[in-house]
Chain A
């Protein structure tokens, strides 16, 4: 990895919840370099701190200690709104439960980040169409409200929304948790084949071993620390 450019540098990251005897540290003094062109899987058992870790490095949860440098910016030195804008422009999220707006149409859901970015409505909708094509969602579904889609289709919409602003980082939280084995595999292959580029980093949190083969690197978390970092040699 030495010849690759660093996309995210994590330095001595710590995050604890609660206080006194109830204090629990979900992430303990973790350091990690993540590179462009990587599809990095963060794996580990439930409660190992992987979701907290992803939240810390993608700028949605403030750490107690440590630094997260994304594209040469110390993201936690930014104020709340600047950080929100930084996320909008640089990080695309696919949440575990998708968090689509059920009553908005598929196109409108994908257009939301573009609207936030300042695009006018029509342009945002047109760009949303491109992203949905990229996510391989049939065009007949574009005008449907999101709640009418199947789990796999909703996942594709969530991916298209995450890609809407062409972010350099894509953060996926348990992307296959709500999908059957085949659909989950297809979705991950789609992500890898069509979205992973040398200019992009894809972070995936999962405990679904069926999709491990798609990773370019896997880090194992346990009790808030990275126990093992391994290169996935399959690809």
Chain B
């Protein structure tokens, strides 16, 4: 088979009519765009829901066995912290408070905030400082605010700005940043564990999680076993992220709805692209019949169609990725809390989809072309 020559013919037949080619490319491109948008939003939402885990950066998290997401923690007694510190694979362990409060602003308005109380000794899980000094967190009434899209909800805050939280005074002593902002759109304030548990209403036990820094990953099974023996659960950050993602995907309508929309976008995309390519083949059926009559073998016809489908698929994929990344970049520019996240994962998923669409469209085309009788060409 003359692969080069047939490939050239296939491409020329495909691209010769620029209008039809553009329609085909846009069909696949739109399908990819839809898929990428939906998966990006899904992954973005899931990633943001686990921002606490991601931002804290601990190797392992100790929690109650009932905890299924990072927001809804069940306070742990102090002995869990002491026990964790006694384990041989643990380099050090620190408590963390993860909760929420309501801030009363100087203008009298109230604003919900996320509060993170860091271990007074190690400040484990601290944010990256962009203004001020982390040690100022030990000052009276000190809070460090995270500079993200939600900060403006606290008004025009600066170092020295004051507010009230649960009738306690609070002062902004610095600004930090986190790799990922939260899902629910609340400003985040960091303080010490002691101040957090003093200033905010708490339950009998106050430790939200025990964060572990481990000596080596080889101790993970041993630590998990020991914590389990105590009646609690230790998860690596990766495992906790998965548990959290599972919660938002399957235990809230939120993730499931986005997931369903993603599947719908896949089906819509598949239909658009499959239908467009199939129509292209149908429109050229007579020409394929002529090729058959002239003497093209089945393999040659299949090769021509597959080359055309692959070209449409990959150019369409490129267009879809370009459209989607532009849209997401624009979204992030205009809507700071925009949750969409375009990563290798969803790009790969879209590529798999394109391969599937291409195979599906080729299958439909090949089936039709192999069935067409060369005799039909004679009949006109």
A and B together in one complex: yes
Which residues of A are at the interface with B, using a C-beta cutoff of 8 A? 51-52, 54-55, 60-61, 80-81, 84-89, 93, 95-97, 99, 101-104, 108, 112-113, 115-121, 124, 145, 161, 173
Q: Which of A84, A101, A124 contacts B16 (CB 8 A)?
A: A101
Which residues of B are at the interface with A, using a C-beta cutoff of 8 A? 2, 4-6, 8-9, 12-13, 16-17, 286-287, 289-300, 373-375, 377-380
Q: Do the beta carbons of B290 and A115 come within 8 Å of each other?
A: no
Q: If the complex has contacts A54-B378, A61-B375, are A115 and B293 also in contact, measured as CB distance less than 8 A?
A: no
Q: Which of B5, B289, B300 contacts A120 (CB 8 A)?
A: B5
Q: Which of B6, B9, B286, B373 contacts A99 (CB 8 A)?
A: B286
Q: Do the beta carbons of B297 and A84 come within 8 Å of each other?
A: yes
CA distance in complex: A61, B297 (Å)? 15
CA distance in complex: A108, B12 (Å)? 9
A87 to chain B, nearest CB (A): 4
Q: Can you spell out 17 A-B residue pairs with CB atoms less than 8 angstroms apart?
A: A60-B293, A60-B377, A60-B378, A61-B378, A81-B298, A87-B294, A88-B295, A96-B380, A99-B289, A101-B13, A101-B16, A104-B13, A115-B5, A116-B6, A116-B296, A117-B2, A117-B295
Most buried by B among A84, A86, A103, A121: A84
From B375, which residue of chain A is reached at the shortest CB distance? Answer: A61
A109 to chain B, nearest CB (A): 10
Most buried by B among A51, A113, A115, A117: A115
Q: Do the beta carbons of B4 and A173 come within 8 Å of each other?
A: no
Q: Which residues of chain A are within 8 angstroms of B292 by Cβ–Cβ distance?
A: 60, 84
Q: If the complex has contacts A60-B375, A173-B378, are A119 and B2 also in contact, measured as CB distance less than 8 A?
A: yes
Q: Do the beta carbons of A113 and B378 come within 8 Å of each other?
A: no
Q: Which of B8, B13, B299 contacts A81 (CB 8 A)?
A: B299
Q: Do the beta carbons of A51 and B378 come within 8 Å of each other?
A: yes
CA distance in complex: A120, B6 (Å)? 10
CA distance in complex: A120, B12 (Å)? 16
CA distance in complex: A102, B286 (Å)? 12
Q: If the complex has contacts A61-B375, A99-B287, A103-B16, are A116 and B294 also in contact, measured as CB distance less than 8 A?
A: yes
B264 to chain A, nearest CB (A): 36
Q: If the complex has contacts A81-B298, A112-B291, are A55 and B16 also in contact, measured as CB distance less than 8 A?
A: no
Q: Which of B295, B298, B375, B378 contacts A116 (CB 8 A)?
A: B295
CA distance in complex: A95, B375 (Å)? 10
Q: Do the beta carbons of B5 and A121 come within 8 Å of each other?
A: yes
A49 to chain B, nearest CB (A): 12
B287 to chain A, nearest CB (A): 6
CA distance in complex: A133, B12 (Å)? 24
From B12, which residue of chain A is reached at the shortest CB distance? Answer: A104
A sample of 5 more A-B contacts (CB under 8 A), given A84-B296, A95-B380, is A85-B295, A93-B294, A99-B287, A99-B289, A103-B16
A32 to chain B, nearest CB (A): 18
Q: Which residues of chain B are within 8 angstroms of A89 by Cβ–Cβ distance?
A: 295
Q: If the complex has contacts A99-B377, A115-B2, are A93 and B16 also in contact, measured as CB distance less than 8 A?
A: no
Q: Which residues of chain A are within 8 angstroms of B291 by Cβ–Cβ distance?
A: 112, 116
CA distance in complex: A104, B9 (Å)? 9
